[in-house]
Amino acid sequence: MKIDKFTATLIIIIIILVVCLFISTSSNTNDLDPYAKQKQKIDSLTVCIGALEEIQLKYDSTIAVYKDSLSLMDSQIDSTKNKIKKIQNDYGKKIKVISSANHDELGDFFTNRYK
């Protein structure tokens, strides 16, 4: 059986088309795999981000508690500073009075102080 050139060329073209079709089909399934892998990576990252957001919320609430504590401590410090200034002013006035007092007034002061 003798095959002419046209038939041989037609058979070769059909074989090439079948091979191309097979390659394109297998590449399409390979194209779906990277998308599936990327989707899986995205899902895993979303889970990680969710966990990190929960941790961040815990830290935010802890920071809020610390801020409240610091505000309370600041007000206590300010109150203590005001008391110290008042005591300094009171004793400063007493020192001026004592500095200008004579011997008899000093004697009376200490006598009255330790009664």
104: left (phi over 0), alpha (psi -120 to 50) or beta: alpha
Residue 72: predicted pLDDT: 96
Residues near 98 by beta carbon (within 8 Å), at least 6 away in sequence: 106, 109
pLDDT in tens, 5-54: 778 788 888 888 888 777 766 655 555 566 778 888 888 888 888 899 99
77-93 per-position pLDDT tens digit: 999 999 999 999 998 88
State residue 16's pLDDT score.
86
Supply the pTM of this predicted model.
0.48
Q: Which residues contact 106 (CB under 8 A, 6 or more apart)?
A: 98
* 18 or 65, greater pLDDT: 65
On whether the CB atoms of residues 103 and 95 are closer than 8 A, the answer is no
